[in-house]
Each structure stands twice: as C-alpha cells, then as structure tokens.
Copies of this chain bind each other. A is one copy, B any other.
Amino acid sequence: MSRPTVNDIAREAGVSLATVDRVLNARPGVRDKTIFAVNEAIARLGYIRDMAAANLARSRRYRMAVFLPDGGGQFVQTVAAAMEEAAQQAAATRTEMTLIRYPAGDTHSLAALLAGVDPDEVAGVALMAPETPVLRDAVRALRHRAVPVVALASDLPNAGCDHFVGIDSRAAGRTAGVLMGRFLGNRPQRVAVLAETMLLRDAIERRRGFDEVMLADFATVDVLPTLETHGATEALRRGLAEVLSSTEIGGIYLLGSGHRALTAALEGMGLLGRVVVIGHELTLHSRSALQSGHIHAVIAQNPGHLARSTLRVLRAKADRAPIDEGQEQLRIDIVIRENLPD
C-alpha cells in the first residue's frame, strides 16, 4: 500500500528503529550479521528513504558561502542575481546562502577570507576566482577542515575542489569556432580576436579551442593574434582601428566581456552588423546586442542553472550524498536572436 518506512524495516528485520538508522547511515556499532539482516529487509521491501523526513529530523541548517569578485563585468552581476534567486528558493530546504564579494583579482584577500571560514558555521563554499598558488592552498586548507568547496564558472583544476559547476572553456571556444567558420562561409577571411586580458585561464582555453577548430575545419580563415584591451574602451577602439588599417576582417571573436565597448567601436567605424561577431556569456549588453543584430551568437551557460546547481551540489557534498551528474551537467548554450530566452 503505502511506502515502507523504517518501522517496517525494523519489524521485518526483527530489530529496533535505532539499529535500522545506524545501518542506513553506516554508523559503527552494529554486528555484520545484523547489518546484513537489515539490508536484506530493505531490499525485500523496496524501501526508499524519505530525505525530507530525514532532514527534518536532523534539523540541520546549511549555510553556504559564495565568493564572487566585486565590480566585475555584467556576467558576475548576472550570476550574483541568479544566486540570490536560487537561495530564496533553496530556503525551503533549509539551505541558506551568504554572498561575499572580494576585491577582483586579489586572490590574497580571498584566501584570507577563506581562511576565516568557520567549519561549523559554514556547510560549504563556492567561489569564482582565477587559480593562483595562494588560492590553491587556501582551498586545500578549507577542504582539510572538512568544508566542501566548489569552483563556480571558472575551474580551479589543481586546487582539488569537490566539484566544478560550469562549462568547459575549451569546448566553449570550439563551439564559437565552428559557428564563426560556418557564419563566415567558405571564403578566405580574417578574424580578429579581442580579450580584456589573456592572464585568465578561461580566455586562454577559449582561444585554444577556437584555434583548434579553425585550423582543422576552416583553413581558409586566418585568425589574428589576440588583441588585449585591459578593459579600456579606448584601447579596444585604437587596436581595432589599427588592425583594420592594414587588413580587412570578416569576423570578430570576443573572448571575454566588453560587448558594449565593441559595439560602440564598431559603430564608430561603420562596421556594425557588417562583420560576424561572436562572444561569450549572456548579459544585459550582449542580449541587446543580439537583439539588434550587432552580435550574431553568444556562447553561454545558464546562470539560473549555474546557481541552483551550485547550491544543490554543495548541499549534497555537505550531506556526503551522491549528486545527480545528469542534472548538474551544465550545457554549452548557443544563443542567437531567435532563441534568446525570456
């Protein structure tokens, strides 16, 4: 009739509730024989544990700390907003979140903040940051104190995080490459590549993926060296003008943020909509640029998914429970004007 409960298991196995609980939670102090009997009863009755009730009884509160760079581009803003929203929803499962902003690029400050995390106050930590030795050590220390850590949007491959929530930058770059190649057609063309900085691993990986594809599948396209703008609109405009003075370009690949500066520069040169522009991440700016046809495609990851996944994974890690890989796998979204969400 109704689903079997721990009581049914206890009766069936001829033991008490407490013993069943011990077996269920793999707690010590039970004879192997008893363990076996309980497991046998569980299997026989097809028992499924009611996580809601379990968590209720535990009456545990999960306070997660999420560290994002302050300022930052539109993307960070978007993620922050998505995080707040996800947190509001997660409150229904006793999962809370504290959003902490650290000085962008200053991994020493971040490391100090991480060092101050109290393991019995904080059930898990998520962070979006570039990987540096200091930070790597801070993450290691945190995990050593039994605090689960997940990398957010930007992977920290050598820090030994419990999980990475985000998309593979190299694959994202490859995706951008294929679109660029196809959008350009098979004619010989040049493509300019812009980035704020090439110091961040994500930018490097994207460029790598992009180049791989262009080289292998679109040999007629000539990809120029990366133009670093260091976030300055003026530098971008000047650099672009210089490139254009010596050659003609058919496409622009924007490795990082700066959609707005780019469209402004293109407008000034009367090139808006005349070159294929492909960028990363869906923000207010890239969204409107897509809508007006100034950018033709954006490779993105769903911020809502990113946020919910982060909280769910942290929660699972805190409970030492397995995670649903399928559900937590972020997709590489290709966004054009016609499939713009919302």
Contact = CB atoms under 8 A, between A and B. Distances in A.
Interface stretch (A98-106, A141-149, A180-188): A180-188
A177 B147 CA distance: 49
A329 B308 contact: no
Interface residues on A, range: 35 or more
Given A61-B3, A333-B331, A50 B186 contact: no
Q: Is the interface of A mostly helix, strand, loop or mixed?
A: helix
Interface string A79-97: 0000001000101111000
B336 A341 contact: no
A298 to B, nearest CB: 11
Contacts of A53: 52, 56
A242 interface: no
Interface string A283-326: 00000000000001001001010001000000000000000101
A311 to B, nearest CB: 12
A281 to B, nearest CB: 15
A52 B49 contact: no
Nearest to A59: B2
A56 B57 CA distance: 11
B61 A337 contact: no
Interface of A: 2-3, 48-53, 55-56, 61, 85, 89, 91-94, 171-172, 174-175, 177-179, 182-183, 185-187, 213, 296, 299, 302, 304, 308, 324, 326-327, 329, 331-339, 341-342
